[in-house]
Every structure is written in structure tokens, then in C-alpha cells.
Structure 1
Amino acid sequence: MKFGRKFLLLGILILSFSIWLQACGTGNSSNGSSGSKDKLIVATDATYAPMEYMDDEGKIVGIDIDIVKAIAEAAGFEVEFKNYGWEPLFAAVENGEVDFAVSSITIDPDREKTFDFSDPYFVANQLILVPEDTDIESFEDLKDKKVSVQINTTGHKVVKGLLGNTSLDIVATETMPLAITEMLNGNADAAVGDNSVVLEYVKNNPNVELKTIEDASFEKEYYGLMVQKGNNEVVDLLNEGIKKIKEDGTLKEITGLDIE
């Protein structure tokens, strides 16, 4: 009788261990931080209208958001957006807290040292915003001026190239709207940022006397979706979606641009 009980207990232990192994196997099928292959978590900085911003109902909306939703539908996965802010979203991607980030992020050689990127999905360039009565007419005219930018953006980078990496004449803020506010408050003579955001601000504030300046020295910049280094599965999935919405015209319909 005791012998039989030992075998019974052994059988129960084996069955329990088998169930535990199956549960572990299910957990390992998850994709990155999302917990599911069918849903990817996306970090953004929702202060960058019209690309990504909060609407009156507190939802994250914008051109970038519409593009990612179209990519997800084309490639057959779901997305959940989280508003991290500009600086924190880089750490979130690098640490695997999210699957990728969309936030008007220019594909840049320095960033490619730390992150992987999807194929380009948007083209932009820098634009100078100044008071209407200024004598500033070009980027070179900013050499002896104070310039506001959003910190660690390509706008910040080009202004550093003109004024110097440690220049006290660079006013670096957490968001582009704050950079513009610094200029309006007289703490900077000009603001430099992505053209889509600067033009959106001008459109939404017709009573503010401002003008924009394009400069031939500003090169075209291409936005990409930023992914943790080495996560080829997500990069391939995103590129699949981007390819499809380029081919069927959805991307041009959303952006109004032809993206190579």
C-alpha cells in the first residue's frame, strides 16, 4: 500500500511539472515588452503637433500616429501608444520597455549607434522661426544670437554646429512649444525646429507676428521608427507595413508626400 502511494505521488509531481513547463513555453512566445506577438507597445512624445499630440479628449493623435496605425493594419498587428516624453522614450526603447518609438525621429548616424530604425516614412527639414520685425534673414545670421531648440533633436544638433556644443546662446527646452515660448518671451532671438511643427504653430497662431525662414544649408531629414538594437523581428515587421502603405498609396494620402 505504501509502495502504491509513492507511485501516485510521483505521478502527481510529474504531471505538475509538465503543466509548469507548458506555462513557461507560453510565456516565452511573447514579443518584447508587449506581452503578445499581436500587439506592440509604442512610445511617443505627444507635444509635437501635427505629428503627435493630445487631442481635447486626451487621446494621442497626429500624422505619425495615423501612419503607425496604417503600418500596423497592413502588417497585421495591433499597437498601443504611450506618451513617454522626448528624452524618456529613448531609454524606454533601449531598455526594452516598449517595442518601438514614433516621434518624428530623424534617422541619424549617431542614433544608429544605439538603435535600429525602420525604412524612412517621412521627409522633413529644419525651419527658422523669428519675430516678424527681426533683421534675421538666414541661418548664418544666428551666429551672434540666442537660439531656442528642443533638446537633443536634429534642430539642436544643427544649432550646435553653428554656435558650438557648449554655447550659452543655445536655449534647449524639453519640448518644441516651450522653445517657441522662450523666443516669444524674449529669451531667444529665434527658434529652430522641424518644418511641420513650426508651420503648424504659425497656422494655429495667426495673431502672433511671426515669420519663417528656410535656409539652403538645411538638408532633408528622414523619419524612421526607432527600435531596440538587434530586434530584427520588429524592424522587419515595420518595414513590411511601410512597404505596403507606400505601394498602395496610403502613406502619400496621409502625408501628402512622395517618400522614396
Structure 2
Amino acid sequence: MKKTMKSLLMVGTMVLGMGMLATGCGKDTASTGGEKDVYVVGTDASYAPFESMSGEKIEGFDVDVLNAAAEAGGFKVEYVNTPWDGIFLALKNGERDIVASAVTITDERKETFDFSDPYFEATQMIVAKSGSGIKSLADLKGKKVAVQNSTTGDEVVSNLLGKDSQDVKRFDNMPLALLELKNGGVDAAVGDNGVVLEYVKNNGSEGLETTVDSSFVKENYGFVVAKGNAELQKKLNDGIKKIKDSGKLAEIEKQYGFTK
């Protein structure tokens, strides 16, 4: 999931207040001063299998990985469900200590925030109805395509069809984009492979086809911290290294079907 920082920080001020009212776990604001007993983690719990709500609890791949890294690194975390459009502003304002929300590491983001070492490799994926003839990115020309607003998928499709093309249908989250495909409102959808595959698995693979275009580059997810927070960045990196070395990360990947 990759959004441009300019678009996120511009709209973040408007939606952050709503984010404080969202259902979550733990405190709504990060603690202040010195080394912290518990780090407050912002996550947009609408992006299964990486983060989603189960009753009052936030769960998913990112949560399991960060919990394991925190345990290995000797620190504690708690989660607050934070809308994606306000999540980086919450981090910038100190209301969150960490963002764990399938965030792609990019040069643009690194100008404003610091990242942990990568913990997951993703790529974009096209999903369309069987028999559509859509087998590559080029096949989307002249088609109506659903994407999550201001994400990598949006960028890829906009570059192909034109940013202002009426054939690009943008949604606040990927589940809504995929629902539009299911309902026949578009010919295809483009999004992160993990989310697309989770949707196909839960909605039946029959009638749907997925493909990864050769032009799609690999994307690395990382946990995000405030710029200059080297102490927390090091804790995250130490924890990630330990769960990689111990095989715990591979175990979690297998649990979610992410084994290579």
C-alpha cells in the first residue's frame, strides 16, 4: 500500500479527528518524554490480511510481525485503529509512535519519516473476471479499473490510462475497489498482491483471474517512525533481525500463506 506523502498530509488534517473516534485497542495518543514503556502503533484496520478488525481487536500479519519483533526486542506496543488518510499526520504530530499498516518504503516517504528494515516484499496485482481477456497491464487500456485512491495501484493505472481518465475509479480502501469489481462496475482492479489474494481466497477463486505484469516492481514494507527517532528505529530493526534469524518471521509468513 503506497500513497504519496503530499496527498496524505494534505487530507490528514481533515480526517485525523475522525481517526481518534475509530475503534481501536489501547490509548489514543503516544506517551511523551524519554524512553517509553509502551509504544502506540497506528494501523488502518481495513486492509486484510495485513490488518483488520476482529470484534474489538486489531489483528493481521503486520500485527503478528510487530508483536514478535517487540517481544524479541524487549519493548511493548499497543494498537489504535487510525484511518489511512490521517495515519502519517498522527505520527508526525506525535500521536502515534509507529505506523504499521502495510507501508511501502519509498524515497519520498524517507524524506519525511524513518523506516525500519523491510519485513515483507509485495508487488502489484491485477484481478479481473475470468474470460475478460485481461492478462497484462496493457490489456487494461480502454477498460474501467478500480484502485485505492493515491496508492501504488492508482499510480500504475493512472500512468497507463491518464490521471484524469474517467476509466479510473478510485475508492477510499481496497475492499471497496474489489467490491466494485465483484458488482460489475469495473472490468478489473489493481492493488497489492497480499490484499488481492486474500479477497480472492475469501470470495471464491472461481470467476476471477489474477496476474502480475512483468513491469510491476517489488515493494518492501517497513514500520514507520518519526524522522530522527533513531532509538525506536534501532529497537525495531533489532527485533526484526532476531525474528528473521530465529525463523519466527518465516513461521508467520507461512501462517498467512506468504511463503515463497
The residue identity in structure 2 corresponding to 1:47 is: S
Mapped to 2, the partners of 1:172 and 1:208 lie a distance apart of 25
Determine which of 207, 210, 228 is the counterpart of 1:212.
210
Q: Give the alignment of 1:73-152 within 5 angstroms.
A: 73-152=71-150
Report the Cα offset of residue 211 of structure 1. Answer: 1.2
Moved over 3 A (4+): 256-259
**Which has more radius of gyration?**
1
**TM-score, normalised by the number of residues in structure 1:** 0.82
Mapped to 2, the partners of 1:146 and 1:110 lie a distance apart of 29
Deviations 1:235-256 (A, max 9, x none): 1111111111111111111113
Report the Cα offset of residue 58 of structure 1. Answer: 2.6
Matched positions, count: 227
Mapped to 1, the partners of 2:223 and 2:88 lie a distance apart of 12
Deviations 1:206-239 (A, max 9, x none): 1762111121111111100011222222111111
Q: Is the 8 A contact 1:106 1:154 kept in 2?
A: no
Corresponding residue number in structure 2 for 1:175: 173
Report the Cα offset of residue 88 of structure 1. Answer: 1.3
Determine which of 21, 25, 31 is the counterpart of 1:34.
31
Determine which of 130, 150, 153 is the counterpart of 2:151.
153
Determine which of 190, 193, 204 is the counterpart of 2:191.
193
**TM-score, normalised by the number of residues in structure 2:** 0.82
Corresponding residue number in structure 2 for 1:240: 238
Correspondence 1:49 to 2:48 = yes
Q: SS in structure 2 opposite 1:241?
A: helix
The residue identity in structure 2 corresponding to 1:211 is: E
Mapped to 2, the partners of 1:222 and 1:254 lie a distance apart of 17
Deviations 1:53-83 (A, max 9, x none): 112x331011110000001101111111011
Q: Is the 8 A contact 1:66 1:254 kept in 2?
A: yes
| Inter-CA distance 258–239: structure 2 relative to 1 (3 Å threshold) | farther
Over the aligned positions, Cα root-mean-square deviation in angstroms equals 1.9
The residue identity in structure 1 corresponding to 2:48 is: A
- Unpaired stretches in structure 2, ≥5 consecutive residues: 1-28
Corresponding residue number in structure 1 for 2:4: none
